[in-house]
Amino acid sequence: MPAARNSVGSPRLPRLLAGLCDRLPEDRIAVVEQVLHMVAGPDDPVLSRFIVAQSAAGLAQQLSEITRVWSAEVPDMSGAGLALALATARSFPRPRPAQVAVSGPMSASLPTRLTSGVAVEVIRSARSSLLIASFAAHGARNVVAEIGRAVGRGVRVDLLLEESTQASAAFVALPGQVHVWHRVGSSGVLHAKLIAADRHTALLGSANLTDRALSDNIELGVVLRDPQSVEPLVDHFRWLLAPENEVMRLA
């Protein structure tokens, strides 16, 4: 990266690029890199239009701040140069901080994403197993379709559902390889909401797998991308499914 001009202290641009990598999945970062390759510099109208078109809460502001600092610190750097810097930041493995997911009205106060999109993204990231728990389920066609695609690529899917809400009806169109589990006995209900992909990523939150909960209700969740946090969580739910523990049974 060229030396910063008129800057005081350490440059901010590398930290901002790293923050963008922390927030967005790799496919979204790749889109930003493609746009940067098309622009001449921080004042290019193509970049401005791309930023304005971003709908995720806080993302347009985050990209605008990167553009502002780019202009202040390294105004002679081309878009291709910044794309290379972003790709470099993306290539270094680093712990991924927890991210917020919300449903309902979205403010610019936090770098958040809509629960419906995050749920699909987590399911899409699974390569070997999916653990999904929900108290209620209805509609959620995008989620159901993504689960079906996961089954198609050989992912084992375990759905832990509350029997009293007839949640399993939302998944009747899925292939027969999907394993549906209900709680044994009647001392309490299955109220957890979880989507865990393999042992690396998990979405935890208040939202059930319903259209309203994923998009319209005021719901709050968090995405964990740290295997050290996700692995014990997956192990706990696998323990719940073990027949000898008599907690869950196959439907």
SS3 of residue 126 by DSSP: coil
Domains and CATH numbers, the chain: 13-91 (no CATH), 99-250 (3.30.870.10)
Determine the pLDDT at residue 3.
41
176-186 pLDDT, tens digit per residue, is: 899 999 999 87
- Nearest Cα to Cα of residue 68 among 84, 88, 87, 47: 47
**Rounded CA separation 202/1 (Å):** 35
98-153 pLDDT, tens digit per residue, is: 888 999 988 877 777 889 999 999 999 999 999 999 999 999 999 999 999 999 99
Per DSSP (E only), the strands in 12-167 are 99-103, 112-114, 129-134, 137-138, 156-161
11-29 pLDDT, tens digit per residue, is: 899 999 988 888 787 788 9
84-96 pLDDT, tens digit per residue, is: 999 998 887 666 7
The pair of structure tokens assigned to 84 is 């290379």
pTM of the shown model: 0.68
149-178 pLDDT, tens digit per residue, is: 999 999 999 999 999 999 999 999 998 899
User: What is the average per-residue pLDDT within 192-202?
Assistant: 96
Question: Is the C-alpha dihedral spanning 7, 71, 41, 36 positive or negative?
Answer: positive
